[in-house]
Amino acid sequence: MALRDRHWRDRRLADVLRSGIVKPLLPAAACLALLAAAPTPSQAATLTVGTSAEPSALDPHYHNLGPNTRARKHVFESLVSMDAKMRLQPELAESWRAVDETTWEFKLRKGVKFHDGTEFTAQDFIYSVCRIPNVANSPSSFTVYTKGIAGIEAPDPHTLIIKTGKPYPLLPVELSTFGIISAKAAGGEAVTFDKAGCKADSWPTTQAFNDGSLMIGTGPFKHKSYTKGDRQVLERNPDYWGPQAAWDTVVFRPITSDGPRVAALLAGDVDIIESPPVQDIERLKSAPNASLAQAQSNRVIYLALGVQDTPPTITGTDGKNPLKDPKVRKALSLAVDRDAIVKRIMMGVAEPANQYLPAGFYGNNPEVTVATDANKAKQLLAEAGYPKGFQLTLGTPNDRYINDDKVAQAVAQMFTRIGVQTQVDATTANVFFSKRNKQEYSVFLAGWGADSGEMSSPLKALIATPIKEKGYGTTNYTSYSDPELDGMLDTALATVDDAKREKLLQAAVKRAVDADIIIPLHYEVTVWAMKKGLSYEPRADQYTLAQKVTPAK
């Protein structure tokens, strides 16, 4: 596979047969550069997107999952949305304010039409909130985001008064997560909100969305067709209230394998792809006919150190758990050379992390740092009584995060070098998460994407003591508990004042990182690759939105 100069011949057989056009010969520096010709303006009407994952259903309330939300955002909109940097923005609500600690008022946009021509009103929002707990077989419901709502009233069709049970500063953020469906199309014009459960004769089925009959939203695109596993086709909504999308037709094609997805772009089958593998990015950068967009994501990759009384995957310590000693934990954190991982394993397409959300995100504390010092690490191990180290197995998924098992191997190298002989147990995500959730790993590698784009999300989930009623510690599989930290979170989450809450979260994240329980490694960077001549504003929330893809001027 030596890279030598070749000449770009015509595109593909079928295209040539169809059009009779033979593209000019272009010299190319590498076979990678052999991209299909850039789209000319007249062809710009169709955009084909190669996605890395397919939604499990088109029903916007069925599954709280990245690809589903990506698909949803084209057809169904929410009251509030997030911009590329995850700052809140008006969408179907023009404005909102906190009337008091537990009451919010949302002013709705007027003149917004659903795809069937009916007008969007407050009832559609009420109906959507009502339907969310009533989706049959939903494997992961959006009730996580609606359960804070205690009451909804609509004094007029374009005003919503939302009551929360307790002070709930995250309400606008949570209202950005789910789409609003048409109450009229689903036959729910008379449904009223009831915290205990809304009443309706029947609720729309997921199938009704998959077959297109209820795919009636307010979004910039109308649903056209859907073949599971193959493609979803959308058409521009000419009556959209906001700026018109540049594309008459958008085709989403799931190409879940990394290499073939890049190949599809290079072969000209698709116009833009999600997440090209990091090792191909240098080449794509130098390819004359491809361009890239990249943004820091909201996802941190971390190591979790378990402090169980009997460590499940540590040997050579007479059954004791060395990770209970803060010095040992600090040593492991010091052993990790984050720059080397980013440079060598992530090919520079990631950023070393010192906490759980990158700078610029709400709650990031600029004073928090992590260090790398192998000698200091060895010294700390000796002080803690483990001059010869111990044996450790590090659990990691191998198909969940970017190069996850490779990062884990690099970490294992670094641990081994300070004397902690480390094995890697890399398994597919289905096995990994089951084992992890049963606390079968002393140390594991995982990632956390803060959907809310602010610091309370990782703190609450990863390190807070598991408390069912508060929803704390849902992903804390380390047996770690710090009541003081929990208290700091309690205060922050009840503070509606944004500036005050940020200070409280910053203090909490400092305390959390210093405990060396959840050791941050790096922030993933999300990359899009597209044909030259297209541009896309990279998004921290990782969604690929066709309405934001534009032909460059």
Q: Residue 17, class by beta-carbon neighbours within 10 Å (0-12 exposed, 13-18 middle, 19+ buried)?
A: exposed
User: In Å, what is the CA distance from 372 to each residue of 247, 337, 517?
Assistant: 49, 6, 16
Q: Based on CB atoms, which residue is closest to other proteins, 296 or 475?
A: 475
CB atoms within 10 A of CB 89: 12
Q: Give the binding range for other proteins (CB under 8 A) out of 217-225, 252-260, 497-505, 510-518.
A: 252-260
If one asks whether residue 417 binds other proteins (CB under 8 A), the answer comes out as yes
CB of 206 to other proteins, least distance (A): 4
| 497 closest CA partner among 242, 169, 131, 5 | 169
Residues 111-170 that bind other proteins (CB under 8 A): 135-141, 143-144, 147
Residues 190-219 that bind other proteins (CB under 8 A): 206-207, 210
CB atoms within 10 A of CB 230: 12
If one asks whether residue 9 binds other proteins (CB under 8 A), the answer comes out as yes
Q: Based on CB atoms, which residue is closest to other proteins, 461 or 515?
A: 461
* Two tokens, residue 405: 């098992």
Residues 310-339 that bind other proteins (CB under 8 A): none
If one asks whether residue 280 binds other proteins (CB under 8 A), the answer comes out as yes
User: In Å, what is the CA distance from 498 to each residue of 98, 451, 482, 505?
Assistant: 12, 18, 25, 10
Cβ pair 325, 317 in contact under 8 A: no
CB of 408 to other proteins, least distance (A): 8
If one asks whether residue 274 binds other proteins (CB under 8 A), the answer comes out as no
Q: Based on CB atoms, which residue is closest to other proteins, 72 or 548?
A: 72
If one asks whether residue 433 binds other proteins (CB under 8 A), the answer comes out as yes
Contacts of 115 (CB under 8 A, 6+ apart): 75, 215, 216, 217, 218, 222, 223, 237
Q: Based on CB atoms, which residue is closest to other proteins, 188 or 254?
A: 254
Q: Based on CB atoms, which residue is closest to other proteins, 412 or 512?
A: 412
Buried/exposed 417-431: b ≥16 CB within 10 Å, e otherwise: ebbbebebbbbeeee
Residues 27-56 that bind other proteins (CB under 8 A): 30-32, 34, 36, 56
Q: Based on CB atoms, which residue is closest to other proteins, 230 or 498?
A: 230
The DSSP code for 395 is E
Tell me whether strands 46-51 and 272-274 are parallel, antiparallel or unpaired: parallel
Binds other proteins (CB under 8 A): choice among 434, 498, 500, 514: 434
Q: Based on CB atoms, which residue is closest to other proteins, 297 or 457?
A: 457
Residues 63-82 that bind other proteins (CB under 8 A): 63-65
Task: Tell me how many residues contact other proteins (CB under 8 A).
Answer: 102
DSSP 3-state of 204: coil
